[in-house]
Amino acid sequence: MPELAPGTNRTTLALCLAAVWILWGSVYLAIRLVVNEVDPFQAMAQRFLLAGTILVAIVAVRRGWSGLRVTKAQLGALVVTGVLLLGLGNGFQALAQVKGLPSGVAALIVAAVPAWAVLLRLVTGDRPARLTLVGVGIGFAGLVLMVALGRGVTGEMPLIGVVLCLGSSVAWAVGSYLQGVLKVPRDVFTIAAYQQLVAAACSCALAIGTGERFSIDYSPRAWFALGYLVVAVSIVGFLAFTWLLTHVPLSLTATHAYVNPVVAVGLGWLVLAEPIGPPVLVGGGIVVASVVLIVSAERRPVAKSRESVEALPPA
């Protein structure tokens, strides 16, 4: 195991890792259960509004209302990143599932976010390690193979759903990159609170623009899924991730990048009876292997601000 910070409680470590692995891996299933009953953008607007309100309360309790003060530059950065990371990142992923993309497949496509992040670094003049670039090539090859097999062999991957999910991944990668270079507040809770509220406004605008009908007519199962997204995914999972960032090496924290899609595929099969056929086993397996390779190759010291965003999933 990578070296831990002095005094790190291993029980807390195990609980936080399990939370990030399982809770963030289950986000795709929870979204699917919600959007099976109500329109996707308005559902995400409700989720982000509730989560953002709770996070504002957490900031106020921890630091007082002054903890929510931001400069104009910081506010602009939070608006841009909130729209990209959550408004479009989660919104397009939810819409992809409405268009028929299985939740497990959506998770595997989103798993390629580290590969998109590496391409952005190349465009901006960075030079990733050769092994990292090999991982990127393998990852994109796995995506192509998974989609080709899914459309040609099983017919379970609608093209519009794939395109939307790819758009979600790119939006998340761009948002992650920008959060690393723009001026944002130092407190991660303040960042999360603003981004959730920005995402709520973005999702609401998308819902209105696409003619969605606003509704709270959820079944008990959908209400549970929405509450799970707010409390377990956006709050508990985020707190666990924040603890990990300050107590363990990034290489250990980043393991969620390849555990989450495995959890998502398993839950989709168990709860929704989504098929695990050749596309998922072969193409998806290659994608997950590429993420392992990229994460392993990137085990080098980086700025803390970038550590905290490049390991986050579009959850």
DSSP code for 128: -
Tell whether 85 is covered by a domain.
yes
The model's confidence at residue 56, banded by pLDDT at 50, 70 and 90, is very high
Which domain, by its residues, includes 98?
12-310
The model's confidence at residue 251, banded by pLDDT at 50, 70 and 90, is low
At residue 301, the pLDDT reads: 45
Residue 10: count other Cβ atoms within 10 Å of its Cβ.
Answer: 9
At residue 160, the pLDDT reads: 93
Burial 87-122, CB ≥16 within 10 A → b, else e? bbbbbbbbbbbbbebbbbbbbbbbbbbbbbbbbbbe
pLDDT in tens, 206-245: 999 999 988 888 899 999 999 999 999 988 988 888 788 7
pLDDT in tens, 278-302: 888 899 999 999 888 887 876 654 4
Tell whether 283 is covered by a domain.
yes
For 200, the enclosing helix (H) or strand (E) is helix 188-209
Contact 237, 24 (CB under 8 A): yes
Q: 59: which residues sit within 8 A by CB, 6+ positions away?
A: 67, 68, 187, 189, 190, 193
Residue 267 clears pLDDT 90, i.e. is over it: yes
The phi, psi pair for 222, rounded to 5°, reads: -70, -35
Least confident stretch, 80-89, 125-134, 200-209, 260-269: 125-134
Burial status of residue 244 (CB atoms within 10 A of its CB: 0-12, 13-18, 19 or more): buried
Dihedral angle of Cα 294, 296, 302, 308, to the nearest 10 degrees: 70
Contact 139, 290 (CB under 8 A): yes
Give the Cα separation of 287 and 81 in Å (integer).
Answer: 26
At residue 299, the pLDDT reads: 62
Tell whether 191 is covered by a domain.
yes
At residue 249, the pLDDT reads: 72
The model's confidence at residue 1, banded by pLDDT at 50, 70 and 90, is very low
Q: Cα dist. 159→12, 162, 213, 237, 243 in Å?
A: 42, 5, 25, 31, 39
Least confident stretch, 77-91, 261-275, 297-311: 297-311
Give the Cα separation of 182 and 131 in Å (integer).
Answer: 28
Contact 78, 194 (CB under 8 A): yes
Q: Per-residue pLDDT averaged across 172-195, rounded?
A: 88
**What average pLDDT does the structure give for the chain?**
86
Q: Under DSSP, is residue 249 helix (H, G, I), strand (E, B) or coil?
A: coil
The total number of structural domains that make up the chain: 1
Residue 162 clears pLDDT 60, i.e. is over it: yes
Helix, strand, coil distribution of the chain in percent, nearest 5: 80, 0, 20
Highest mean pLDDT (candidates 6-15, 125-134, 219-228, 271-280): 219-228
Instruction: Compute the C-alpha angle 22/23/27, nearest 5°.
Output: 115
At residue 5, the pLDDT reads: 55
Give which of 202, 21, 173 is closest to 109, Cα–Cα: 173
At residue 305, the pLDDT reads: 40
The model's confidence at residue 306, banded by pLDDT at 50, 70 and 90, is very low
The model's confidence at residue 164, banded by pLDDT at 50, 70 and 90, is very high
pLDDT in tens, 67-91: 999 999 999 999 999 999 999 999 9
The model's confidence at residue 258, banded by pLDDT at 50, 70 and 90, is confident
DSSP code for 136: H
pLDDT in tens, 113-129: 888 888 888 888 888 88
Question: In the block, which residue shows the tokens 């990142």?
Answer: 89
At residue 163, the pLDDT reads: 94
Tell whether 7 is covered by a domain.
no
